[in-house]
């Protein structure tokens, strides 16, 4: 199993890199599932997070910074009460359907410190051949340690092969091709 971790500063283009990797994977005939979380922009500023189900294309506002949505609060984000249940349900469905690439955007303190949010997705990684995970740069090492406990279903003694791709202003244009080549080979 291959796990590509996409990391970088806030606003560096991590989700955009993932969107382009998904496009490249689909162009190569690979089935993609999971969650992308592009920003919700209003009046030119980010006011929240939208969730996109890669399987159905369904989009939902998951969180806002400007008012309480009734769910958990993480940093400046107020999530909807069902945001994580919705996302975890279709992530599990994508794994069950046998997706070639599982995308999880993003793993943060809620998952790694509190075991909430999208943490259930981490327990499903052993069932997919490839994963693309967005993670904060400060949490890369913690996620690597967590992934060491994930074993491939077919070879329980073999942990996943993990590679970190850091998104910056100078790398974000070439990074999708590098990630796709590592995950799927050159084509």
For 2-36+90-184, CATH gives: 3.40.50
Residue 10 has pLDDT above 90, yes or no: no
Alpha helical stretches, state H, the chain:
14-27, 83-96, 109-112, 119-122, 140-148, 175-184
Pair 84, 119: CB distance under 8 Å = no
Q: Any bridge partners for residue 6, and if so which?
A: 134, 165
DSSP letters for 114-164 = TS-TTHHHHTTGGGSSEEEEEE-GGGHHHHHHHHHT---SSSTT-PPEEEE
DSSP reduced 3-state for 6: strand
Segment 128-146 mean pLDDT: 94
pLDDT at 176 exceeding the cut of 90: yes
Question: How far is it, in rounded angstroms, from Cα 90 to Cα 58?
Answer: 10
For residue range 83-102, what is the model confidence (pLDDT) as tens digits? 999 999 999 999 999 999 99
Q: What is the pLDDT of residue 100?
A: 97
User: Is the pLDDT at 152 greater than 90, yes or no?
Assistant: no
Kindly report the CA angle at 55 between 126 and 174, in degrees rounded to 5? 75
Contact yes or no for 186/27 (Cβ under 8 A):
no
Residue 156: its pLDDT value, please?
54
Bridging pattern class, strands 161-167 and 2-8: parallel
Segment 122-127 shows an average pLDDT of 92
Query: First-to-last CA distance in the chain?
Result: 19
pTM: 0.92
Domain boundaries, the chain: 2-36+90-184
């Amino acid at each position: 199993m291959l796990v590509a971790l996409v990391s970088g500063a806030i606003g560096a283009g991590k989700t955009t890199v993932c969107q382009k990797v998904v496009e490249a994977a689909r162009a190569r005939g690979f089935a993609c599932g999971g969650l992308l979380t592009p920003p919700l922009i209003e009046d030119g500023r980010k006011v929240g997070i939208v969730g996109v189900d890669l399987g159905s294309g369904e989009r939902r506002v998951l969180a806002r910074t400007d008012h309480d949505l009734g769910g958990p609060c993480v940093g400046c984000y107020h999530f909807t009460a069902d945001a994580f249940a919705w996302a975890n349900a279709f992530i599990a469905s994508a794994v069950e359907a046998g997706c070639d690439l599982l995308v999880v955007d993003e793993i943060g303190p809620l998952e790694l410190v509190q075991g909430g949010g999208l943490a259930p997705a981490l327990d499903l990684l052993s069932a997919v051949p490839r994963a693309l995970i967005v993670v904060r740069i400060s949490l890369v090492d913690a996620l690597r340690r967590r992934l060491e406990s994930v074993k491939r279903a077919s070879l329980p003694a073999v942990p996943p092969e993990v590679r970190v791709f850091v998104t910056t202003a100078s790398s974000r244009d070439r990074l999708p091709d590098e990630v796709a080549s590592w995950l799927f080979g050159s084509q």
